[in-house]
A and B are shown apart, each in its own frame.
Chain A
Amino acid sequence: MATAEVTVQRPARTVSERMVGFLTKSPVHLTLILVAFIWLVPTVGLAITSVRVPADITGSSWWSSLLDWRYTLNNYDTVLSRANMDRSFVNSLIITIPSTLLPLTIASLAAYAFSWIRFPFRDTIFLMIVALMVVPIQMALVPLLRLFRDMGIANNYGGIWLAHTGFGLPLGIFLLRNFFITLPRDLIEAARVDGASNLKIFLRVVLPLSVPALASYAIFQFLWVWNDLLMALVFVQNSDLWPMTIRINQIQSQFGIEWHLLSAGAFLLMAVPLIVFFALQRYFVQGLLAGSVK
């Protein structure tokens, strides 16, 4: 930027002028550097710990290891094989994927009706569904557990899929409906005049135009389910089916605070959300903003 300014007709800023400029802004820079420090150091510390030799972790600090380069991936190997984290990684995927696709499908169908089909009490029903958005999951734990036991799905993935779908729907319907109503009215009316059925308009017109909104909600729900602990604790009773969030707690109680296991486990748990986040950051932030601002 400094060079760009020099090329303009204005007289070049001298070094001292630039120093003054920086210093008047220095409280801003110092605060932001402190912020970056506070938000990075905890994660970086655990990341470095996860690749250190177990004996080193208890013997010396993680920051001293920056000078004494001796890293290994063995901790990841140990936590995957000895602590069953490999199985839990797969379990997390098996829990998360249907718990994302099912509410995505059901919510988009409903959102289409709430935005483009007229029927009695439509807005009242929509408002009631929006109101359900803040029902805490605690209000449903015991009844759902009993229901799932009666249905015989408390010992497999069925219960947690259904529970996540139910509790993910209100936000999904809300987000998608808010997006669907912004689609051009002429387009949908034209399709209707051409004799297209509602299902056809939904599949051929509305869905293809709504990919960003669908992606935002899908990512949001995916991360929500992947990161969930409470519902998994209650609805996944069979320890062979535990997702990673529960397994990490199990490592704590089984082996005590073993930082080489906990740090590697935590990073395996974080890996998927971080990849999703960095690859699809735009959609994620959009979903978040839409869910709150609207």
Chain B
Amino acid sequence: MSSTAVPGPVGRPRGRRLPTFFARSSWQGFLFIAPAVVFLGLFVVWPLIYTITLSFADTNAKLKIVDWVGLDNYKTLFTDDKEFLDLDAFPPTGAFVNNLKWVVLYTTLSLGLGLLIAVLAARVRYESMIKAVVFIPMAISATAVAIIWKFVYDPDPDIGSLNALITLFGGEAKAWYGRADLVNYALIWAYVWASTGFAMVVLSAALKGISEEVIEAARTDGASEWDIFRRIQLPLLSLPISVVTVWLLINVIKVFDIIYVLTGGGPGGASEVIAFSMYDETFTNGEAGYGAAIAVVMLLLIIPIMAFNIRRFRSERVIT
């Protein structure tokens, strides 16, 4: 690829004087990025710093700072807010714990199903049809996904498809999103349904990149289909799998819309997650400082993932 020709300081010999072209056009470079820098500074970076400051403060209903409280918001959040984290209960409950469930189940299920469908679909003639069907939910909003699944989960077996299926086999209809013990799993599944298509498309594209000859050669040598998947395809998929995992993790830490529409955090707060608590504390309870502390917790959860992402981005550019 000709993309090796990345202009810039990367390939410049150290200590040499900059070419005249560099000096002459450098102000133009700043001119071209100026609008972006202004927008990012004003609407992303400044708010980011402001929110971090806000997390050490108490605010009034107009979102204005009235008192500095140090780390109190964080202390309350992790020790004295049973809706956010209740370690006295067994098993522990609260929005933070719910979000951990989301992280584990949503990520593994979306990735696992995406991989399974990508691998299986590659072996049949109607591959593109299956892929389109699984991918469509990626285009529609979490709001629409929430309505679609609220309908599937409806407690009345004459309305909800899931309860209809269960009663057909002699089971009992359940209030999937009305019961504290089921609601999180119902929500997680709905979101897995919406995201599997993403994992599938990325992994399927990567699978297509693996040479047919290698796989045919293995087949002639008597390798089973499982061997081919386990020893040839899976190792070559490790980079796209990590890419998908990063995307899913960042997505799940920010999950909000689908919960807001399907359950509103209920029943009795049982389906709240971190982003939901942030919204609720800030805009329903008017506790902007407390909400800011929750937002900072979200950021702190995302930063390690971001660091990983940037490291990979850097190493990849060295390769290409």
Contacts and interface: CB of A to CB of B under 8 A. Distances in A.
B115 interface: no
Contact of B158 (A61, A117, A277): A61
B139 A274 contact: yes
A41 to B, nearest CB: 6
Interface string B185-196: 000000001000
Interface string A176-191: 0000011011000000
B133 A139 contact: no
B255 to A, nearest CB: 11
Interface stretch (A4-12, A77-85, A163-171): A163-171
Contacts of A145: 63
Given A118-B26, A230-B257, A123 B158 contact: no
Interface in B258-307: 260-261, 275, 278-279, 282-283, 288, 291-292, 294-296, 298-299, 302, 305-306
A36 interface: yes
Counting contact residues on chain A (CB < 8 A from B), the size range is 35 or more
B278 A138 contact: yes
A285 B201 contact: yes
B51 A198 contact: no
Contacts, number: 304
A59 B8 CA distance: 69
B51 A229 contact: no
A288 interface: yes
Given A119-B29, A143-B47, A289-B201, A136 B42 contact: no
A38 interface: yes
B238 interface: no
B47 A109 contact: no
Interface size, B (range):
35 or more
Nearest to A253: B264
A120 interface: yes
A194 B314 CA distance: 34
A173 to B, nearest CB: 6
A49 B152 CA distance: 11
A134 B298 CA distance: 11
A227 B143 contact: yes
B299 A28 contact: no
Interface string B169-193: 0000000000000000000000001
A90 interface: no
Interface in A11-67: 25, 28-29, 31-32, 35-36, 38-43, 45-46, 49, 57-63
Max chain A C-beta neighbours (<10 A), residue from B51, B202, B299? B51
Interface centre among A113, A145, A233 (most CB of B within 10 A): A113
A249 interface: yes
B130 interface: yes
B143 A42 contact: no
Contact of A36 (B9, B39, B130, B260): B130
B218 to A, nearest CB: 18
Contacts of A262: 147, 150-151
B295 A138 contact: yes
Contact of B33 (A32, A46, A114, A288): A114
Interface stretch (A68-76, A125-133, A207-215): A125-133
Contacts of B90: none
13 contacts: A29-B124, A112-B32, A114-B33, A135-B299, A138-B275, A139-B296, A181-B3, A198-B32, A248-B143, A249-B143, A257-B154, A259-B159, A293-B202
